[in-house]
Amino acid sequence: MSGITIPFAYDRYREAADRKPLFRRLVKRVLLLWIFGMIVQGNLLGLTPDHIYLYTNTLQSIAVGYLFAVLLFVYTSRRTQFIVAAALLLLYWAAMQFIRVGAFGGGDYTPDGNLCEWVDRVVLGRFRDGASVQDGAVVFAPKYHYTWILSSLNFVATVMSGMFTGYIARSRTLADRRKVALFLGIGAVLVVLGWVWNLVLPVIKIIWTSSMVLVSSGWCFLLMGLFYYWIDCKGHRRHLTWLKVYGMNSIAAYMLAMAVQFGSIGRSLLYGFEQYLGDFYPTLLLFSNVAVVFLILWVMYRQRIFLKV
């Protein structure tokens, strides 16, 4: 979804003589996403250096992918962009498959043995999520295996897949049904290719493998085709306001859900149901949190308040 907006938002910069506004807009977006990511997962609000982690959150992966995808969009041709996206996927796979450092890499895709894990430990060190310093040595959280540095290659490729979707959606020469056919056809091909690649490069989300990029991007193309057909081609727009409530303030929704604890509201108002619901009581609290966030977003939507990065 970040990538699909690029052809719409940045097309005017491709021919602009002065690109300073482009860089101001891009730097602002990347910095804000990075800071928001540190607030959510880096514990920036803890106000203690021991709990600050630099690169640990989905918003930061979006920032990295978005930065390079926009620069490629503005400064290179579509052909070059396709080549770069394919090269990134293959480069990641080649590194994971053929580079070995000690007990890491060389085709090892286990949580404690893959090359991405080694790269993050070396580059991020004590600034990795969950890492701590004990007796002068960095100790890594045993159950934390999300990776970010080498995986950034595929973060860029993922955003670029969205950008390619935007090319189709923005086209003035393609008929709507042709767009639907392209979305569905490309999506099906990507999903099949991803699962075929899975035979040698497993589909693993936490290290963002190249095969996972193909599978996940393929499903996004398929869903785009489905919704484009249902909404844009067939004109079914009723009962979709709740999606707009989230979509028009997606970053605000994410930050509210991740950075603010609304659990006390549900526990204060619904504690009497615990005796009747038993193990289902936490589910009720979960839905109450969702309801509070939605209510805030709905008020913002009605007041035409849209927070953009």
Say if residue 144 is in the same domain as residue 245.
Answer: no
Buried-state track 178-204, b at ≥16 Cβ within 10 A, e below 16: ebbebbbebbeebbeebeebbeebebb
pLDDT digits (tens, 9 = 90+) for 257-303: 888 888 889 889 999 999 999 999 999 999 999 999 999 999 999 99
Residue 233 domain flag: no
Say if residue 148 is in the same domain as residue 37.
Answer: yes
Rounded Cα–Cα distance for residues 173 and 30 (Å): 33
Say if residue 151 is in the same domain as residue 256.
Answer: no
**Residue-level pLDDT at 17:** 85
Q: What percent of the chain has pLDDT over 70?
A: 100
Residue 182 domain flag: no
Residue 155 domain flag: yes
Rounded Cα–Cα distance for residues 170 and 190 (Å): 21
Average pLDDT over residues 42-57: 84
- Of 145, 171, 197, the last residue of a domain is 171
- The answer to whether 224 touches 163, Cβ cutoff 8 Å, is no
Domain of 268 in residue numbering reads as 241-302
**DSSP string for residues in the chain:** -TTTTHHHHHGGGSS-S--HHHHHHHHHHHHHHHHHHHHHTS-GGG--GGG--SS-SHHHHHHHHHHHHHHHHHHS-HHHHHHHHHHHHHHHHHHHHH-EETTEESS--STTTSHHHHHHHHHHGGGSTT-EEETTEEE--TT-----TTTHHHHHHHHHHHHHHHHHHH-SSS-HHHHHHHHHHHHHHHHHHHHHHTTTS---TTTT-HHHHHHHHHHHHHHHHHHIIIIIIT---TT-HHHHHHHTTHHHHHHHHHHS--HHHHHHHHGGGHHHHGGGHHHHHHHHHHHHHHHHHHHHHHTT-----
Residue 70 domain flag: yes
Q: How many domains does the chain divide into?
A: 2
Residue 138 domain flag: yes
Say if residue 141 is in the same domain as residue 247.
Answer: no
- Of 112, 137, 171, the last residue of a domain is 171
Rounded Cα–Cα distance for residues 111 and 146 (Å): 9
pLDDT digits (tens, 9 = 90+) for 126-175: 999 988 888 889 999 999 999 999 999 999 999 999 999 999 999 999 99
Residue 246 domain flag: yes
Confidence category of residue 92, pLDDT binned at 50, 70, 90: very high
Residue 186 domain flag: no
